[in-house]
Amino acid sequence: MTTTMPMIETYPQPIFFDRSALATAIDVIANCGQTCTACADACLSEEMIERLAKCIRLDLDCADVCAVTARMLTRHTGADVTVIRAQLEACAAACRACADECTKHAAMHQHCRICAEMCRRAEQACRDLISLAA
């Protein structure tokens, strides 16, 4: 259980997004960042690490983008919807790229399969919020 929704419910002003959809997206995106970090770490422990270099890089990039995106979505005061939309687009792109690369390794590495699935969920969460910010 997270405190995301209870915290969003306490925000006293209107916000750009449906609060429930926003809370879900924040949780999914933050979880994706953690999953990508764990996948990169697991990749570093695999044999023939050179074959996973691109995967590790995309895992770490996606983790960073997800962390920033979740933080930006958590702040509402003075938010600029254009900036938020651009960040969501960047996050969706990072998640898609990471998922595509992890999928290439999923048959051999369970952590890559899990990461690819999480990245697809986070990409969709970003797309869902983008559609609400139109």
Q: Is the pTM of this model over 0.85?
A: yes
CB of 99 within 8 A of CB of 116? yes
CA 46 to each of CA 37, 68, 70: distance values in angstroms, whole numbers, following the listed order: 15, 28, 29
Mean model confidence pLDDT for the chain:
96
Domains and CATH numbers, the chain: 17-132 (1.20.1270.360)
Largest CA distance in the chain: 53
Q: What is the per-residue pLDDT for 16?
A: 84
Q: What is the per-residue pLDDT for 1?
A: 74
Q: What is the per-residue pLDDT for 25?
A: 97
Residue whose C-alpha is closest to residue 60's, from 45, 47, 42: 42
**Segment 21-56, tens digit of pLDDT:** 999 999 999 999 999 999 999 999 999 899 999 999
133: left (phi over 0), alpha (psi -120 to 50) or beta: alpha
Per-block mean pLDDT, blocks of 10 residues, the chain (134 long): 92 92 97 98 95 97 98 94 96 98 97 98 97 81
Can you tell me the distance from the alpha carbon of 52 to that of 100, in angstroms, rounded to the nearest whole number?
A: 13
